[in-house]
Amino acid sequence: MKQRGLIVGILVVVAIMMTSCFGSSNEPDFVEADLLGLWQETGTEAYVRFTSEKDDTGEYKYGREWDESEDTFESDLKPYGNGWFKYKLVKSDLTEIHLMDNGGAEVPKIYVVTKLTDTVLQYKDDFGTTHSFDKVVEKN
C-alpha cells in the first residue's frame, strides 16, 4: 500500500513538472501593432512601412519596402507589386510574403524578431544576419 502511494506521489510530481515546462516559454511575445509605421534601416537609406491594411484573407497585413539610395521612393511603388509584401507577426516569428509583378509570384521570407520597442526593430534572417531599424517620426 505504501509503495502504491509512493508511485502515485511520484507520478503527480512528474506531471506537475511537465506541465510547468510546457506552460512556460523563453520565446518573446511581441505585439504586431508595435510594427505599424515607417522604419529606416540603421545607417542606410532603406525603408520599410508596416500598415494595418489587411489582405483578402484577413490573416496578413500589407507592408512596403524601398531603398532611396537606388532612387526608389515609396511613391514609385506600384500597389500590390514589387516592393510590397504581406506580413504577420506571431510571438517572435515575422513572416513576410513579398509580392512580385512578374507572374504574380509570392516569395516568403521568415525572420526572428529579437527586439521591438517604440523606436527600435531588430530581427535576424535565415542566414543569422541581424537587421536593425529605427522608427521614423513622420510629419503630418
Residue 33: give its domain's CATH number.
2.40.128.280
Positions in the chain short of pLDDT 50: 5-6, 8-9, 11-24
In a domain, 115, yes or no: yes
State the Cα–Cα distance between residues 62 and 31, nearest whole angstrom: 16
Residue 79 falls within a domain, yes or no? Answer: yes
Three-class DSSP category at 128: coil
The total of structural domains in the chain comes to 1
Of 134, 140, 139, which Cα lies nearest the Cα of 42?
134
What integer pLDDT is reported at residue 1 of this predicted model? 55
Range of the domain at 125: 29-135
Q: Which of 130, 106, 105, 110 is nearest to 120 (CA)?
A: 130
pLDDT recorded at residue 104: 80
Residue 5 lies in a domain: no
CA–CA gap between residue 55 and residue 97 (Å, rounded): 11
- Asked, for residue 1, whether it belongs to a domain, the answer is no
The three cell numbers of residue 86 are 504581406
Residue 17 falls within a domain, yes or no? no
From CA 121, how far away is CA 118, in angstroms rounded? Answer: 8
Buried b (16+ CB within 10 A) or exposed e, 16-27: eeeeeeeeeeee
The pLDDT value recorded for residue 14 is 46
